[in-house]
Structure 1
């Protein structure tokens, strides 16, 4: 039941789910990582919001690139009869793992507005922190909100179908 009610059923719903998820994630993860990287200041925060229009498509593309590999890994690490929470948590873990690898480098390039070797040479210093921040935000904030949006949407759609089906 949770799979049916709390996850997207169609492409349009997947788009909405992805929008909600990426909007929340971008507005929490990017500022936190940048502030840990540079410093916590109003000027840093303002710079992040100037860069977000360039970073958001990269995040969306990374989600689409990592979707199938994360799904494959999730199926490898979970059993068919595992609970909804177990499967969703493993999927979040696999997705964040793959996305954080890519975005630790690409996100740094977009944020600095230049391609350099610095994010690659400091990868093993930066990635664990980025992974931990992203995993926390995804598990406890972004994913639950996006799943709740899907649940509310599906309740409304299902109640409309029920009303239309019962109408003479």
Structure 2
């Protein structure tokens, strides 16, 4: 799948891909989850905007240091060489969202409340199911398709640029 037009093909493109997905995800998932718990009003939304930069950094670190290594080890156990692009993307997204939502169901409240407490552990399962549900749909229907679309357009542009430089 390395040469798949919808995926990054260099480290620089990988960073762009992760930035697109993480910025979209954090800006939709964090406010939605917070407002589901505390109510939909402008004060809650503005409070969410204040913590989004911290959440974004945490998410990028968790993806890079925790989710990618775990998902990289688990994926080959479930997928074969003949499985297609959609199977790879769906399983990768499902596993990544699972790992990140588990972590953020604990870390997110700590960041939001600005204190480390036992509360996220006490309400873990109801919160995790809600967080996972919101995150998986945002990833599958919004963030991932937009990032893959950008990659595809970028690769088409690069290909056209190469073709025009030869003539």
**TM-score, structure 1 normalization:** 0.94
Q: Which runs of 5+ in 1 are unaligned?
A: none
Distance 1:33 1:16 in 2: 25
User: What is the deviation of 1:77?
Assistant: 1.2
User: What is the deviation of 1:40?
Assistant: 1.1
Distance 2:44 2:105 in 1: 18
Matches within 5 A, 1:1-168: 4-65=4-65, 66-164=67-165, 166-167=166-167
Q: Which runs of 5+ in 2 are unaligned?
A: none
Q: What is the DSSP-based 3-state SS (H/G/I as helix, E as strand, rest coil) of the residue aligned with 2:82?
A: coil
Distance 2:69 2:152 in 1: 23
- Tell me the alpha carbon deviations over residues 15-61 of structure 1, each in whole angstroms, 9 at most, x when there is no partner: 11011101110111000100111111111001000111111100110
Say if 1:3 and 1:84, in contact at 8 Å, map to a contact too: no
- Tell me the alpha carbon deviations over residues 84-103 of structure 1, each in whole angstroms, 9 at most, x when there is no partner: 01110000000001111111
User: What is the deviation of 1:67?
Assistant: 0.8
User: What is the deviation of 1:12?
Assistant: 0.8
